[in-house]
Amino acid sequence: QKEVEQNSGPLSVPEGAIASLNCTYSDRGSQSFFWYRQYSGKSPELIMSIYSNGDKEDGRFTAQLNKASQYVSLLIRDSQPSDSATYLCAVHHSGGGADGLTFGKGTHLIIQP
Amino acid sequence: DVKVTQSSRYLVKRTGEKVFLECVQDMDHENMFWYRQDPGLGLRLIYFSYDVKMKEKGDIPEGYSVSREKKERFSLILESASTNQTSMYLCASRDSNNSPLHFGNGTRLTVT
């Protein structure tokens, strides 16, 4: 059973601070990693993709991947109230073929003004 | 930008009805997916398709079927709706196995 684990939260962060979201996965051979943001009642929206070890930055968002430790994280700098949402980690595991995307259950992030 | 369109935002159906959820994508993607999302359970894969007329069961296919007659369209069918199928249904597509999924706006189905 390939698993993706996230702390469900809520994670409360003051406005302007850095929010740090973490995700661990069980399949060492996983290849592709994605972060989605989901507002209440809405569908998931892709915010970051990462495929190799290290950091990937896009605006206020940084994804970090460490395949040896099997974790992927998302940092949100200068957090804004509009960042309040549930963040889903998704992993494409090895040998998964067309279906091989496993989602974590999400971390609920609250940015306090 | 990829556009995945689900035909209905909200649906209310009665127990025993046959329900059709339609999904269309405009990016010529090979792979299409149907998930349901419930509080505390996360996203669960119902069915997926990697080509026209091809379909594969996901984690929770019982009570559902799918149809993919054209590449851009993937339909989810509830043969006889039951109250435990009340959920948010999400369609998604992607162009290759390592690519991210792009989701439609979702259909919130209530079965009474």
Distance CA(B110)–CA(B10), nearest Å, equals: 8
Distance CA(A11)–CA(B97), nearest Å, equals: 32
Q: CB B105 to CB A46 under 8 A? A: no
| The predicted structure's pLDDT at residue B75 | 97
Here the tokens at position A103 are 């989602």
Strand partners for B25: B4
Residues of A in contact with B106 (CB under 8 A): 42-43
| The predicted structure's pLDDT at residue A75 | 98
The answer to whether A4 touches A96, Cβ cutoff 8 Å, is no
| Residue B97 to chain A, least CA–CA distance (Å) | 5
Q: CB A49 to CB B100 under 8 A? A: yes
Strand order from edge to edge, sheet including A4-6:
A4-6, A19-25, A71-76, A61-66, A54-58
| The predicted structure's pLDDT at residue A93 | 76
pLDDT value at B89 more than 70: yes
Q: CB A104 to CB B42 under 8 A? A: yes
* Nearest CB to A43; choose among B30, B50, B104: B104
| The predicted structure's pLDDT at residue B95 | 87
pLDDT value at A98 more than 60: no
Residues of B in contact with A104 (CB under 8 A): 42
Burial of residue B68 (number of CB atoms within 10 Å: 0-12, 13-18, 19+): buried
pLDDT value at B46 more than 80: yes
For A4-63, how does the pLDDT look when each residue is reduced to its tens digit (9 = 90+)?
A: 999 999 999 999 999 999 999 998 888 899 999 999 999 999 999 999 999 999 999 999
Rounded average pLDDT over B74-97: 95
Q: What is the CA radius of gyration of chain B?
A: 13
Residue B18 carries which side chain, given as an amino acid letter?
Answer: K
Q: CB A98 to CB B31 under 8 A? A: yes
